[in-house]
Amino acid sequence: MVQQTKDEAREETLRRWHALSPDDRQSLEQAEFFAAALAGELDFRTMGNSRKIILGWLVRDLAGLPPWGNVPPESVTTAMRQAATDMADHDPPANENAEPQEDDADDSDEDHEARRRAAE
């Protein structure tokens, strides 16, 4: 058996995975079984467990993600944007040693604006 590069092994894994019928590649359990079977057949250099590496490629494929790269899920991206917006909307406390005050969740925008003006 000729040792492949990791990229060649990934391409071969995904080629064989896509050669299966769509019904045979729907679940994580099917991916785990396929990764375990394929780990003994592919010879590629890795510092990790080859079965887990192969399973990672298959899970990314099941999720519709590209085979490599850091692509956060949309929910994470949206949450990060919302957190950044929320941080920009809050005024820092007048005294840096002061504890931030908790806003009531029922407050309207007018109540929030009135408290902000009163604090000035």
The one-digit pLDDT tens for each residue of the chain (120 residues) are 678 888 899 999 999 999 999 999 888 899 999 999 999 899 888 888 999 999 999 988 888 877 766 655 565 556 566 666 766 665 555 555 555 555 555 556 677 677 777 766
Specify if 70 maps to a domain: no
Confidence (pLDDT) at 47: 86
* Residue 108: partners with Cβ closer than 8 Å, 6 or more residues away: none
Q: Is residue 51, in this structure, part of any structural domain at all?
A: yes
Q: What pLDDT score was predicted for residue 65?
A: 78
Residue 82 in any domain: the answer is no
Classify residue 18: in a domain, yes or no. yes
User: Within a domain: residue 106?
Assistant: no
pLDDT value for 46:
85
Domain assignment present for residue 42? The answer is yes
State how far the Cα of 52 lies from the Cα of 40, in Å rounded to an integer.
12
Q: What is the pTM of this model?
A: 0.56
DSSP symbols for the chain: -PPBPHHHHHHHHHHHHHHS-GGGSSSHHHHHHHHHHHHTT--B--SS-HHHHHHHHHHHHHTT--SSS----HHHHHHHHHHHHHHHHSPPPSSTTSPPPPPPTT--HHHHHHHHHHH-
**119 within some domain:** no
- For the chain, the domain total comes to 1
Residue range of the domain that includes 28: 6-62
Residue 37: the pLDDT is 93
